[in-house]
């Protein structure tokens, strides 16, 4: 659990909004307020956008929340916690010598994906399935639709490719999330993804959820290349649109239409909080 500083002064609305973003991101990481499974990415986006308005100690807390599972000193709560054993990675897509992503995972502990056998030299079938889904998202979103490429992340993750970390975040009700790396300035920033290790906690076929989550969260990475400070309603609606463009047959968005249609008085530009309809056992 992170220790937060004293509440911001009432006469400083920007500081108050930043502290609220910090507290909300931590709460969602621990499963609080999670209804759709998509809340963490916009919460982290809001935190990144308001980080400069925090105190020095609060900025350190924010950087912990924005950290990757492999970053030294990461001790984030819930879904934002670090790997507890060394990780391995695959940066080659199935059947080829090239890739547009590096996927990281661990071979033991609750974060290990199905098929992990303790051997870092082998790639579990689950990871290959995820790589295929990510490459499909790249083909549609970047090559067919012409979206800007992700901002290179330097040596983070071992090279400049976008990094995807596989972790047991489904226990918090979270499908996946995208986050910018801390310490950046400007509106265009590099980012990484975290995906669930099996999607077994949700009531739908795991592969379909894996696929639309890959398309959705990768779209957030592309959005960060354009504007880290965009409105939440645009951030989420565009990523949901990308799900349908990349994996038309899955139709996960239909689960969210009923609660959305039940709020005719809410402006389109309201971020909302949604109602999750499928089982989350």
Q: What is the mean pLDDT of each run of 10 residues along the chain (281 residues)?
A: 50 89 91 78 93 94 94 82 94 75 96 93 94 96 97 93 96 93 93 96 86 97 95 91 94 74 79 36 23
pTM (two decimals):
0.88
pLDDT of residue 276: 29
Retrieve residue 237's tokens.
């609606």
Cα gap 214→212, rounded to integer Å: 5
Under DSSP, the state recorded for 80 is: G
pLDDT of residue 97: 60
Cα gap 181→57, rounded to integer Å: 18
The domains found in the chain, sorted by start residue, are 81-261 (3.40.390)
Percentage of the chain modeled with pLDDT above 90:
66
pLDDT of residue 98: 66
Per-residue pLDDT tens for 76-126? 888 889 999 999 999 987 666 668 999 999 999 999 999 999 988 899 999
pLDDT of residue 113: 97
pLDDT of residue 273: 43
pLDDT of residue 72: 83
Q: What is the dihedral of CA 57, 271, 141, 148, to 10 degrees?
A: -50
Cα gap 238→240, rounded to integer Å: 5
Under DSSP, the state recorded for 54 is: S
pLDDT of residue 158: 92
DSSP three-state, residue 89 = strand
Q: How many CB atoms lie within 10 A of CB 30?
A: 16
Under DSSP, the state recorded for 221 is: H
Q: What is the dihedral of CA 166, 172, 175, 181, to 10 degrees?
A: -60
């Amino acid at each position: 659990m992170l220790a937060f500083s004293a509440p911001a002064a009432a006469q400083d609305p920007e500081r108050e909004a930043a502290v609220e973003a910090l507290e909300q991101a931590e709460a969602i990481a621990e499963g609080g307020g999670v209804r759709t499974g998509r809340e963490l990415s916009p919460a982290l986006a809001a935190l990144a956008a308001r980080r400069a308005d925090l105190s020095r100690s609060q900025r350190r807390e924010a950087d912990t929340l924005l950290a990757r599972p492999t970053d030294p000193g990461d001790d984030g709560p819930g879904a934002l916690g670090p790997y507890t054993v060394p990780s391995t990675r695959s940066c080659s897509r199935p059947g080829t010598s090239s890739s547009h992503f590096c996927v990281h995972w661990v071979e033991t502990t609750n974060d290990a994906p199905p098929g992990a056998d303790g051997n870092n030299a082998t790639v579990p079938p689950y990871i290959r399935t995820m790589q295929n889904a990510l490459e499909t998202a790249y083909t549609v979103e970047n090559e067919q639709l012409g979206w800007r490429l992700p901002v290179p992340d330097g040596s983070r993750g071992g090279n400049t490719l976008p990094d995807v970390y596989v972790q047991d975040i489904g226990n918090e009700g979270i499908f996946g999330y995208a986050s910018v790396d801390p310490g950046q300035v400007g509106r265009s920033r590099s980012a990484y993804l975290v995906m669930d290790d099996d999607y077994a906690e949700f009531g739908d076929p795991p592969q379909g959820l894996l696929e639309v989550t890959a398309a959705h969260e990768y779209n957030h990475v592309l959005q960060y290349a354009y504007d880290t400070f965009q409105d939440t309603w645009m951030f989420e609606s565009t990523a949901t649109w990308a799900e349908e463009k990349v994996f038309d047959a899955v139709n996960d968005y239909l689960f969210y239409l009923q609660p959305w249609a039940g709020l005719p008085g809410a402006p389109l530009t309201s971020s909302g909080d949604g109602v999750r309809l499928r089982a989350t056992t």
